[in-house]
Amino acid sequence: MKRSLTILLIIMIIFSSQSKAQTSNFGKLSGSIVDIETEEPLIGANIIVTGTTMGTMSNLQGQFTLSKIPVGKYRIKATIIGYKSQEQEIQILPGETARIKFALEETVLEMPALVVTAGKKAQSFQDVPNSVSLITVKEIERRNRTYLDEILEYTPGINMVEGDVNIRGSSGFSLGAGSRVLLLLDGIPMMPGDSGDIKWDIIPLSQIERVEVIKGAGSALYGSHALGGIINVISKEPSESPVTEAKISTGFYDQPYHEEWKWTDDLQYFTQTDISHSRKINNVGVLLSGGYKTSTGYQQNGEYITWNLLGRTDFQILPQAKLTLQSNYSTSEYGEIFQWRNQNDVYEMPVTSVGDWINSTKFSFNSVYRHLINQKFTYKVRASYFQNFWKHHYHDNDDFSEAKKLGLEFQADYIINQTHSFTYGFEGIYDITNSAMFGDHNGSTWAGFFQDEIHLSELLTATLGFRYDYHYVDTLPKPPHLVLK
């Protein structure tokens, strides 16, 4: 027993010595960001250690902290929408905290600070090789819509037809036949395995920080679903201090433009309620959100009821490692609107279709582990589960479908120097479908990707990307065999 205690004590001393030695090679950065004229704190500003993969955001007090920065001299860049970016040089000393303050000047042009979708990593807006549009939380609040697709239709280059998204004419109209535009939630695909289309109601608008829209093919990094573009929804993070928010809105539909189109004397209305609570307890951040939406619609069979639940937990496991768990749940009941009755009764359904409705449920669970190995190398591991169920309650059929999608992805980013970096990784997806419409089938996708990016000058960037995808579906015919006689 004494011998075991002695060995344990020796191990603890060695480990402690190694920890102190490692700590002596690192320092800490702390600072604040304010408006240069009012001295008010700027919330949500991006702080980047240029030439590295390190960065953070300012909190509600405009303050920020970066731990475990290797000893050395760095340039720190601060950016935020509506303000001119600013850089400062600072020296990180062993075991000490370097302090810095940014006073940013307001600008007329709203330049987005960072985007993470174009290159699958945080990049300055000016360095992104693709055409990008950014939808901010202010614009979402100003529009006050129910679902994200109703916000996206105001974005230049995007056309929405019955919830089907079309970027710069790349997709055409393919209702119920898959989407060539990829929808992501914090970098994780949110597309069901049966229909392959986008389910807009699973993402509550109240919990969106911003939306990044990549206009153009992104298939080198994201696969064939991104042939027409990418829509990446960046969700809100738990706040530093306890914050509870409630939002209630309601409205009424006007009478039809032509008197002969009027189909009911009842008042047609809509209403929605969203409640959320966010806070941090030591190294754990928690965000909970719930929402209820209902409407009679402005035409026959246009009624719907939707419930949304969202939960997110962030674990700061180490100063350089973070685990995020997030779950979304949505259930809806809504009337089916497929065609009008005739040219004079455009807001009424065919008599046989009146009362047809659909029940739909979506559930997702995502986990992301990020680890900063050093100032030049970082990696992420993403695991996801997406379940989609729908059932028709029609006068002539009771079709249904249940699809389950499991995903796993590894991604690494390495910065060689300030002008040269590359991203690589692999991913796997497994689909299980049980459907009266599509049948019972399984499928899988395995892929590897690589992208090299070199900034030749301030105005010229060279990007080389490569991706290999292997798709398997259990209904594919077997390859023909050569028979010699």
Q: Nearest-5° angle of CA 305, CA 407, CA 451?
A: 115
Residues 165 and 77 in one domain: no
5 found inside a domain: no
Residues 6+ apart with CB under 8 A from 129: 118, 119, 453, 461, 463
Identify the CA nearest to 161 among candidates 138, 179, 187: 179
Q: Side chain identity at 432, as an amino acid letter?
A: I
Residues 47 and 83 in one domain: yes
- Tens digits of per-residue pLDDT, 69-86? 888 888 898 888 778 888
Residue 314 pLDDT: 93
Q: How confident is the model at residue 19 (pLDDT cuts 50, 70, 90)?
A: very low
CATH code (residue 390): 2.40.170.20
As a whole number, mean pLDDT of residues 342-366 equals 91
Residue 129 pLDDT: 61
CATH code (residue 58): 2.60.40.1120
Least confident of 42-56, 351-365, 426-440, 466-480: 466-480
Q: Which is more confident, 481 or 47? A: 47
446 found inside a domain: yes
Helix, strand, coil % over all residues of the chain, rounded to 5? 10, 50, 35
**Token code pair at residue 412:** 């690494």
**Residue 260 CB: number of other CB atoms within 10 A?**
9
pLDDT exceeds 70 at position 26:
yes
pLDDT exceeds 90 at position 296:
yes
Residue 51 belongs to domain spanning: 23-111
Least confident of 212-221, 319-328, 442-451: 212-221
As a whole number, mean pLDDT of residues 154-172 equals 76
Residues 189 and 68 in one domain: no
Q: Among 58, 86, 111, give the residue marking a domain's end.
A: 111
**Token code pair at residue 256:** 């039809």
Residues 106 and 188 in one domain: no
Residues 298 and 373 in one domain: yes
Q: Among 78, 111, 144, give the residue marking a domain's end.
A: 111
Residues 29 and 135 in one domain: no
**Residue 427 CB: number of other CB atoms within 10 A?**
20
Residue 481 pLDDT: 43
64 found inside a domain: yes
Q: Which is more confident, 44 or 238? A: 238
> How far is it, in rounded angstroms, from Cα 102 to Cα 388?
46
What does the mean pLDDT of the chain come to? Answer: 83
Q: How confident is the model at residue 173 (pLDDT cuts 50, 70, 90)?
A: low
Residues 6+ apart with CB under 8 A from 11: none
Residues 212 and 293 in one domain: yes
- Read off the DSSP letter of residue 269: E
pLDDT exceeds 50 at position 15:
no
* Residue 292 main-chain phi, psi, to 5 deg: -135, 130
* Residue 226 main-chain phi, psi, to 5 deg: -100, 25
In the Cβ-directed half-sphere of 400, how many Cα atoms lie within 13 Å?
A: 9
Q: Among 85, 111, 137, give the residue marking a domain's end.
A: 111
The SS3 call for residue 154 is coil
Residues 233 and 365 in one domain: yes
Residues 119 and 236 in one domain: yes
**Size (the chain), residues:** 485
Residues 223 and 89 in one domain: no
8 found inside a domain: no
The three-state DSSP-derived secondary structure of 336-375 is CCCCCCCCCCCCCCCHHHCCCEEEEEEEEEEEEEEEECCC
Domains of the chain: total: 2
**Residue 474 CB: number of other CB atoms within 10 A?**
11
As a whole number, mean pLDDT of residues 132-150 equals 83
Residue 115 pLDDT: 63
Residues 394 and 457 in one domain: yes
Residue 332 pLDDT: 94
pLDDT exceeds 60 at position 154:
yes
Residues 144 and 275 in one domain: yes
- Tens digits of per-residue pLDDT, 231-284? 889 888 888 889 999 999 999 999 888 888 899 989 999 999 999 999 999 889
